[in-house]
């Protein structure tokens, strides 16, 4: 069964990808982590998210090893430190990431979070990388509505995504940021969609999971995936974990399920500051 997709930067991208935070750090886990990423690609979880910050390039090098011989099947996302998001430093950061990944073009390149570099300068630097063929699309991470409005005013109309912390316990973006992105056809990427595993064992999730013959974390992941235009990027360090994540794609939550989750994890009643991990 084909993996569902959503539009990002004018192309179809899998709604369920693979995160790599804290992957590539431990040599003892390297083989299993590479197998996990390759299994994900085989299952259609073709979007792989990494960053120069993750292990100071170690995660990117792990991804590069995993996609050898599979480059065309993968959609690679990496992120730049905010201090590297300037006109002079972003090209250098991009080249380092390209070398780590062993590729000549990053599919999606993001500003990891907002720093001191003016957004207008970052937009200019991203556009220059795109025109040079070093990246296909660019976007941002951890920017709230006010930042996004400033970004667009600074010429950032080619921004393809905003990668944000979004899960059952972090529902603040539903109040304003997610609708804002939807109205402008900017994809949202949800990192830590199961709150780094901390949702495991929650009694409401367990109850719903039992009704569906699923796991509690599959329910939490299916809840994120229920929303159109949202891409989830859970981390999985083993083949079995990847397969469990992929199974969440076939889990359809009922109206009663969603109402029960709303009672256990209330939606925001007003504006909340965008949270980060």
pLDDT interval class at 60 (50, 70, 90):
very high
- Residue stretches of the annotated binding site: 112
pLDDT value, residue 2:
78
Helices of type H across the chain: 30-42, 58-66, 90-101, 119-131, 145-153, 177-183, 203-212, 216-225, 239-247, 255-264
Rounded to whole angstroms, the Cα distance separating 49 from 190 reads 11
Classify 67 in phi/psi space as left (phi over 0), alpha (psi -120 to 50) or beta.
Answer: alpha
pLDDT interval class at 153 (50, 70, 90):
very high
Give the DSSP H or E segment for 104: none
pLDDT value, residue 166:
98
Is 219 inside any structural domain?
Answer: no
- The count of domains in the chain is 1
The DSSP-derived string for 146-201 is HHHHHHHHTT-TTEEEEEEE-BTTB-GGGTTHHHHHHHTT-EEEEESTTGGGTTTT
Is 10 inside any structural domain?
Answer: yes
Of 54, 109, 166, 191, catalytic: 54
Q: What percent of the chain has pLDDT over 90?
A: 96
pLDDT interval class at 256 (50, 70, 90):
very high
> Please, what is the average pLDDT of the chain?
96
pLDDT value, residue 203:
95
- Residue stretches of the annotated binding site for substrate: 112
Is 212 inside any structural domain?
Answer: no
pTM to 2 decimal places: 0.95
Contact 93, 52 (CB under 8 A): yes
Whether the per-residue pLDDT at 1 is higher than 80: the answer is: no
Q: Is 29 helix (H, G, I), strand (E, B) or coil?
A: helix
Is 261 inside any structural domain?
Answer: no
pLDDT value, residue 208:
97
pLDDT value, residue 48:
98
Is 119 inside any structural domain?
Answer: yes
Is 234 inside any structural domain?
Answer: yes
| Number of neighbours of residue 201 by Cβ within 10 angstroms | 10
Q: Is 109 a catalytic residue?
A: no
Q: What CATH number did the domain enclosing 182 receive?
A: 3.20.20.100
Q: Kindly state the average pLDDT of the residues 21-45.
A: 95
Q: Residue 21 contacts by C-beta under 8 Å, 6 or more apart in sequence?
A: 51, 54, 59, 191, 235
Is 204 inside any structural domain?
Answer: no
pLDDT interval class at 3 (50, 70, 90):
confident
Q: Kindly state the average pLDDT of the residues 114-139.
A: 98
The strands making up 75-80's β-sheet, listed across from edge to edge, are 18-19, 47-49, 75-80, 106-111, 135-141, 159-165, 187-191, 230-232
Q: Kindly state the average pLDDT of the residues 261-266.
A: 97
Is 259 inside any structural domain?
Answer: no
For residue 191, give its domain range.
Answer: 5-198+227-238
Q: What is the pLDDT of residues 171-223, one digit of tens each?
A: 999 999 999 999 999 999 999 999 988 999 999 999 999 999 999 999 999 99
pLDDT value, residue 89:
98
């Amino acid at each position: 069964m084909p993996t569902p997709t959503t539009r990002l930067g004018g192309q179809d991208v899998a709604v369920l990808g693979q995160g790599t935070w804290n992957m590539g750090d431990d040599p003892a886990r390297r083989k299993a982590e590479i197998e996990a990423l390759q299994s994900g690609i085989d299952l259609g979880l073709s979007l792989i998210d990494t960053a120069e910050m993750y292990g100071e390039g170690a995660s990117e090098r792990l991804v590069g090893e995993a996609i050898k011989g599979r480059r065309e099947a993968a959609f690679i996302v990496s992120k730049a430190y905010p201090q590297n998001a300037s006109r002079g430093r972003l090209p250098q950061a991009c080249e380092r990431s390209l070398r780590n990944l062993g590729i000549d073009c990053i599919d999606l390149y993001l500003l990891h979070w907002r720093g001191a570099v003016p957004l207008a300068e970052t937009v200019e630097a991203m556009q220059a990388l795109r025109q040079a063929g070093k990246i296909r699309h660019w976007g941002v991470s951890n920017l709230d509505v006010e930042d996004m409005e400033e970004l667009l005013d600074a010429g950032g109309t080619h921004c393809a995504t905003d990668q944000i912390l979004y899960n059952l316990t972090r529902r603040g973006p539903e109040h304003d940021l997610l609708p804002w992105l939807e109205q402008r056809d900017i994809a949202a990427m949800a990192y830590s969609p199961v709150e780094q595993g901390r949702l495991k064992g929650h009694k409401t999730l367990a109850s719903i999971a039992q009704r569906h013959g699923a796991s509690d974390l599959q329910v939490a992941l299916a809840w994120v995936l229920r929303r159109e235009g949202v891409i989830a990027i859970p981390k999985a360090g083993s083949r079995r974990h990847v397969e469990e994540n992929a199974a969440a794609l076939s889990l359809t939550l009922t109206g009663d399920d969603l109402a029960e989750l709303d009672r256990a994890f209330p939606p925001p009643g007003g504006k909340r500051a965008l949270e980060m991990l």
